[in-house]
A and B are shown apart, each in its own frame.
Chain A
Amino acid sequence: MVAFIQNCVDALSLGSLYALAALGIGLLFGMLRLINFAHGDFITIGAFGLIVPSRNDMAIMAVGSLPVVLLVPAACAIVVAAALLSDRLVFRPLRTASAPTLMVASFSVGYIIQNTILVTYGARPKTIDLWSSLGEQLHFGAVRVPRLEVVTIAVTLVLLATLTAFLKRTRYGVQIRAAAEDFLMARYLGVRANLAIGVAFALSGLLAAIVSLLFVSETGTLTNVMGVPLMLYAFIATVVGGMGSLVGAVVGGYTVGFLGVMLQAYLPDGLRSFRDAFVFATVVFVLLLRPAGIIPTKALVQRV
Chain B
Amino acid sequence: MMMLEVDGLSVRYGRLTALRGISLKVDEGQIVCIIGPNGAGKSTTLAAIAGGVGIQSGTVRWRNQVISGLVPEAISRLGLALVPEGRRVFSTLSVEENLLVGTYQRRDRAASSKDLQRALELFPGLRQRIRQPAGRLSGGEQQMLVICRALLTNARLLMMDEPSLGLAPMIIDQVYEMLLDLRRRNGLTLLINEQSSERILEFADHVYVLRNGEIQLSDSAANLQDGKAIESAYFGFDARASNLDLAVGATHGRVHPELR
Contact = CB atoms under 8 A, between A and B. Distances in A.
Interface of A: 171, 174-175, 177-178, 181-182, 184-193, 297-299, 303
A298 B91 contact: yes
A182 B72 contact: no
Nearest to A168: B97
Contacts of B105: 189-191
B92 interface: yes
Given A189-B149, A189-B153, A174 B52 contact: no
Contact of A189 (B86, B91, B92, B102): B102
Contacts of A303: 86
A182 B88 CA distance: 8
Given A174-B101, A190-B102, A191-B105, 8 more contacts: A171-B104, A177-B97, A178-B97, A178-B98, A181-B93, A185-B90, A191-B73, A191-B101
A187 B93 contact: no
Interface stretch (B14-22, B76-84, B136-144, B225-233): B76-84
B52 A175 contact: no
Nearest to A96: B54
B116 interface: no
23 contacts: A171-B104, A174-B93, A174-B104, A175-B101, A175-B104, A178-B90, A178-B93, A178-B98, A178-B101, A181-B90, A181-B93, A185-B90, A187-B73, A188-B72, A189-B102, A190-B77, A190-B102, A191-B101, A191-B104, A192-B73, A193-B73, A298-B135, A303-B86
What 10 pairs across the A-B complex have the smallest Cβ distances?
A: A190-B105, A187-B72, A190-B76, A185-B88, A178-B101, A189-B102, A181-B90, A178-B90, A187-B73, A188-B82
A189 B93 contact: no
B150 interface: yes
Interface in B90-138: 90-93, 97-98, 100-102, 104-105, 135
Interface residues of B, number: 28
A189 B152 CA distance: 9
A191 B77 CA distance: 10
Interface of B: 50-52, 71-73, 76-77, 81-82, 84, 86, 88, 90-93, 97-98, 100-102, 104-105, 135, 149-150, 153
Given A189-B149, A193-B71, A298-B135, A177 B90 contact: yes
A122 B30 CA distance: 70
Contacts of B72: 184, 187-188
Contacts of A181: 90-93
Residue among B101, B135, B149 facing the most chain A CB atoms (10 A cut-off): B101
A70 to B, nearest CB: 34
Contacts of A184: 52, 72
A187 B71 contact: yes
Contacts of A174: 93, 97, 100-101, 104
A99 to B, nearest CB: 17
Contacts of A175: 101, 104
Contacts of B104: 171, 174-175, 190-191
B181 to A, nearest CB: 22
Nearest to B146: A185
Nearest to A183: B72
A303 B91 CA distance: 14
Contacts of A177: 90, 92-93, 97
A181 B133 CA distance: 13
Contact of B84 (A185, A192, A193, A299): A185
A207 B247 CA distance: 58
B76 A188 contact: yes
Contacts of A171: 100, 104
A297 B73 CA distance: 25
A190 B106 CA distance: 9
Contacts of B50: 188
A189 B97 contact: no
B100 A188 contact: no
B17 to A, nearest CB: 18
Contacts of B92: 177, 181, 297-299
B82 to A, nearest CB: 5
A186 B51 CA distance: 13
A188 B71 contact: no
B93 A190 contact: no
Contacts of B100: 171, 174
Contacts of A191: 73, 101, 104-105
A178 B89 CA distance: 9
Contacts of B97: 174, 177-178
B84 A187 contact: no
B226 to A, nearest CB: 36
Nearest to B53: A184
A29 to B, nearest CB: 15
Contacts of B101: 174-175, 178, 186, 189, 191
A177 B90 CA distance: 9
Contacts of B73: 187, 190-193
